[in-house]
A and B are shown apart, each in its own frame.
Chain A
């Protein structure tokens, strides 16, 4: 399967600071990147979708000015949580998709990033 590297795997930050999460697709070109958030004991919730070189599309209720997504290359996308607050503490997961991917192919996910805001 495809190799997806997400970094860091965990991070603790102070309230009011910003945190950047990186997601790399190591062996295929990710024309699209999905970012999910998962709170404890809950399912994954899609936050936003980004296409390489374009602005991200955010799901309803997700603040685009708070969760900055950069998808400047086909192998790297970043999610920056700006001015983090304790309620942003969650597990963030990326999922890159190549142009050839369809529903008849499996999706790949990063290892996830556990963010704790204190």
Chain B
């Protein structure tokens, strides 16, 4: 399984763009990159998923360079409600049976 490395914590202010980078040097050919958000005392929630290049949805953007050894989650104009832990996961259903292995995550704190 590809191991991921993220910053343990990040601070930001309301209205700023936040970029959280995840390293996954041993990503496999079939692996997807998925990000989840978790608020205190809640289960994780899917944010975005990608395989290569750039993916954008109504919540965030995901940038993946050509070598796919890292990825960057971009949250535009964060608000206080974006304070949460963000997890980067890398994997492939065929090898993992769908189970997710969570790394330490990045605790984002958004201040007024």
Are A and B subunits of one complex? yes
Scoring A residues 27 to 62 as 1 if CB is less than 8 Å from chain B, else 0, what string do you get?
A: 000001010100000011110010000000000000
Residues of B within 8 A of A91 (CB): 41
CB distance from B24 to the nearest CB of A (A): 14
B42 close to A (CB within 8 Å): yes
Stretch at the interface among B11-19, B62-70, B85-93: B85-93
B61 close to A (CB within 8 Å): no
Complex Cα spacing A26 to B98, Å: 19
Cβ-defined partner of A103 (8 Å) among B41, B96, B104, B105: B96
Pairwise interchain contact B32-A44, C-beta atoms closer than 8 A: no
By beta carbon, the residue of chain B nearest A10 is: B41
CB distance from A35 to the nearest CB of B (A): 10
Pairwise interchain contact A46-B87, C-beta atoms closer than 8 A: no
Residues of B within 8 A of A97 (CB): 98
Complex Cα spacing A94 to B104, Å: 19
A101 close to B (CB within 8 Å): yes
- Interface residues in chain A, defined as those with a beta carbon under 8 Å from any beta carbon in chain B: 1, 4, 6, 32, 34, 36, 43-46, 49, 91, 93-95, 97, 101-104, 106-112, 114
